[in-house]
Amino acid sequence: MYHINFIASAYDKPHADTYQSFLIPFTFFALQTDPNSHVEMIVEDVSAFKNKYKTELSVLEKINTHFLIRQPTYPRNKHIPNTYRFFEKPQVDSVYTYIADIDIMFLENDIVGKYVASWPNNLPYNNKLRPNAPSHLTGIHMVKTKEYYTDRLYECQKKYYHGAIENDEIILQKLCKEVFGLPNLSHQFRPIYGIHFSPNRGPKKSLHLKTSKIYYNKFMEMKEKYKELFEFEIFQKLVKQLKEDFVW
């Protein structure tokens, strides 16, 4: 059994590759966080993804093989792409499951330990309600796998999958409220243990791309250590963005 399993879902528009291009970098960095970690990469066309990134995957496998590439639990219907990760059912056994944005490159060790130290009482998940929008849980969702993924949750997932289109964070809030209850608003623990390379932020956009000098240096140290992997375009793109588009 793995200590932590990361759920990494990528849904793109037809003929686009915006989010799938993050999957291998996300997996690489996630697997660095814990020696007993695993990543489930979820794509709609597994064969096409493996074929397109076969060279990158072969290099990643030299470093770590604790990942699975699979199809989604539910096929795409009417929901916005970010929602489907909350309808997933993990396929590997793990003590904890982490559902996060796939454009976050993690740069800290023992993420689980940090979450356990700030866990809301009597809940099988660790997340927070947004103070300015308490109908939303955030998209960074750590769960105790066996306690969270229950038959009751699966029934609720199915209901909302077939239900109305809503913001992904609202659907997550409704799922958790109905099955487990919600954290108190005083619980505001929601860390980003790495660099968030959001394609929706940056120059000429409403939100900046931000990080710290510590994380910048850690990222560049990984670049130097894993030169073969960082030669690929999907990694070079992150390096370029970090150097040119981020503010401190």
Q: Tell me what pLDDT residue 208 has.
A: 87
Q: Tell me what pLDDT residue 215 has.
A: 97
Q: Tell me what pLDDT residue 211 has.
A: 95
Cα(198)–Cα(106) distance, integer angstroms: 13
In this prediction, residue 139 has a pLDDT band, given cuts at 50, 70 and 90, of very high
Domains assigned to the chain: 2-199 (3.90.550)
In tens, the pLDDT along 172-203 reads 999 999 999 999 999 999 999 999 998 888 78
Residue 232 has pLDDT above 80, yes or no: yes
Residue 248 has pLDDT above 90, yes or no: no
Beta bridge partners of 246: 209
At a CB cut-off of 8 Å and minimum separation 6, what does 150 contact? Answer: 179
Residue 17 has pLDDT above 90, yes or no: no
Beta bridge partners of 17: none
In this prediction, residue 31 has a pLDDT band, given cuts at 50, 70 and 90, of very high
Cα(234)–Cα(100) distance, integer angstroms: 19
Q: What tokens appear for 136 in the block? A: 């939303």
pTM: 0.96
Residue 87 has pLDDT above 90, yes or no: yes
In this prediction, residue 227 has a pLDDT band, given cuts at 50, 70 and 90, of very high
Are 136 and 129 in contact, with CB atoms under 8 Å apart?
A: yes
